[in-house]
Amino acid sequence: MAFKTRVTEMLGIEHPIVQGGMQGVGLAELASAVSNAGGLGTLTALTQPSPAALRAEIERCRAMTDKPFAVNITVFPTLLPPDYKAYAEAALDGGVRIIETAGTQQVREIWDLVKPHGVTVIHKCTAVRHALSAEKHGCDIISIDGFECAGHPGEDDIPGLILIPTAADKVKIPMLASGGFGDGRGLAAALALGAEGINMGTRFCATQEAPIHDNVKARYIENDERGTNLIFRKFKNTARVGKNAVSDEVVEISARPESTFEDIKHLVAGAVGRELLQSGDLTKGIFWAGMVQGLIHDLPTCKDLIERIVADAEAIVRGRLGQMLA
């Protein structure tokens, strides 16, 4: 059994399940495993130190799968931005025809670059108004990200149960539901709410193929739905991360009225986060995690996870819900 939606049709995939672009995690091992299992795997462009390195990673991924996969390009507000267009050109050169974007309005320059080459653009949004704007400017698929998500949930604090159907009422292009998804119940719910697939990040981190240390994977299992911290709130750049001693310290320092970003910079730097993922030393920095940790109890292969999600969603749609009809 497979669910057929506009998302599966447009992306050329078997199941409406997409792996989110995750800094430090979206490497060929994970992306190829997700794609081989019938979902859409995603390489994270900025995990690579240069556009040339991204080209090499695309080739490495292509050697592991003959299925479609995407490249994520997230545009951050920064004083010294990377050459985003060069990364996009590297993706084009590598034959990638699905690109996921997120971040500031500068992503539209990337869209303008890649769309003439037949690229399908997925854009991550945290608000209905942003989704409508992306649709207006030529995006093909919206990934609507609820407050439960790992990473940056925006500043509106709208959970998926409200955000997804509210967006579905107004957005005409297909939508992926993102934030809080990790099992068949979530897939069935997302489809019922008006989405045509799901985007998962944290859940794919807790798989056999995720290229991160076993200690980090174990923490995803140990943490429950309360096991996250919201950081950067006072800087209007809210981020949800896994609960550990370091993120607790970030929250404590940030609560001081006189504190500035400089006071926590050493704790949240990307370099120490990458070291944590590879070394498994959870005292080194922060790691991305969503509330979906409460639904993570094992470390399956991507194939087993996707097959289980689809089978459980089908059982809900065909069985449990059908039996409730009078």
**CATH number of the domain encompassing residue 177:** 3.20.20.70
For position 320, what pLDDT does the model report? Answer: 86
Report the amino acid identity of residue 314: E
CA 163 to chain centre: 17
**pLDDT beyond 90 at 212:** yes
For position 59, what pLDDT does the model report? Answer: 98
Same domain, 126 and 170: yes
HSE, CB side, 13 Å, CA atoms: give it for residue 253.
Answer: 19
Q: What are 121's strand-pairing partners?
A: 99
Work out the average pLDDT over 251-269: 95
For position 124, what pLDDT does the model report? Answer: 97
The closest of 267, 239, 237 to 253, measured between CA atoms, is 267
Q: What distance in Å separates the CA atoms of residue 278 and residue 289, rounded to the nearest whole number?
A: 16
For position 302, what pLDDT does the model report? Answer: 98
Domains held by the chain: number: 2
The share of the chain scoring above pLDDT 70, in percent, equals 100
For position 105, what pLDDT does the model report? Answer: 87
Same domain, 195 and 148: yes
pLDDT in tens, 5-34: 999 999 999 999 999 999 999 999 999 999
Please state the φ and ψ torsions of residue 174, each to the nearest 5 degrees.
-60, 150
For position 151, what pLDDT does the model report? Answer: 94
Q: pTM of the entire structure?
A: 0.96
Q: What distance in Å separates the CA atoms of residue 155 and residue 45, rounded to the nearest whole number?
A: 25
pLDDT in tens, 223-240: 999 999 999 999 999 999
- DSSP-assigned letters across all residues of 194-215: T-SSEEESHHHHTSTT-SS-HH
Same domain, 198 and 121: yes
Same domain, 259 and 190: no
Do the Cβ atoms of 176 and 187 come closer than 8 Å? no
Same domain, 286 and 317: no
Q: What distance in Å separates the CA atoms of residue 133 and residue 127, rounded to the nearest whole number?
A: 10
Mean pLDDT check: name the lowest of 73-82, 130-139, 201-210, 254-263: 73-82
pLDDT in tens, 64-113: 999 999 999 999 877 788 999 999 999 999 999 999 999 988 899 999 99
Neighbours of 243 (CB within 10 A): 20
The closest of 239, 233, 151, 162 to 199, measured between CA atoms, is 151
Q: What are 17's strand-pairing partners?
A: 198
pLDDT in tens, 37-53: 999 999 999 999 999 99
The closest of 152, 143, 149 to 180, measured between CA atoms, is 149
The closest of 189, 156, 169 to 313, measured between CA atoms, is 189
Residue linked to tokens 């869209």: 111
Sheet holding 198-200, edge to edge: 17-19, 198-200, 175-178, 141-145, 120-125, 98-103, 69-75, 41-44
Neighbours of 56 (CB within 10 A): 15
Q: What distance in Å separates the CA atoms of residue 126 and residue 240, rounded to the nearest whole number?
A: 13
**pLDDT beyond 80 at 326:** no
Please state the φ and ψ torsions of residue 119, each to the nearest 5 degrees.
-80, 135
Same domain, 200 and 221: no
Same domain, 117 and 260: no
Same domain, 176 and 319: yes
Work out the average pLDDT over 255-260: 94
Same domain, 276 and 202: no
**pLDDT beyond 80 at 307:** yes
Task: Say if 1 falls within a structural domain.
Answer: no
The closest of 45, 111, 117 to 82, measured between CA atoms, is 45
Instruction: List the domain range (segments joined by +) for residue 230.
Output: 214-291
The DSSP secondary-structure symbol of 21 reads: P
Q: What is the mean pLDDT of the chain?
A: 96
Same domain, 18 and 166: yes
- Residue 55 is inside which H or E element, if any? helix 51-64
Q: What distance in Å separates the CA atoms of residue 293 and residue 282, rounded to the nearest whole number?
A: 16
For position 321, what pLDDT does the model report? Answer: 87
* Residue 302 CB contacts under 8 Å (≥ 6 apart), including other chains: 30, 33, 34, 36, 37, 39, 204, 207, 208, 209
Same domain, 308 and 282: no
Work out the average pLDDT over 153-157: 94
Using pLDDT thresholds of 50, 70 and 90, give the confidence band for residue 60. very high
Work out the average pLDDT over 130-139: 97
For position 79, what pLDDT does the model report? Answer: 72
Same domain, 231 and 205: no
pLDDT in tens, 273-284: 999 999 999 999
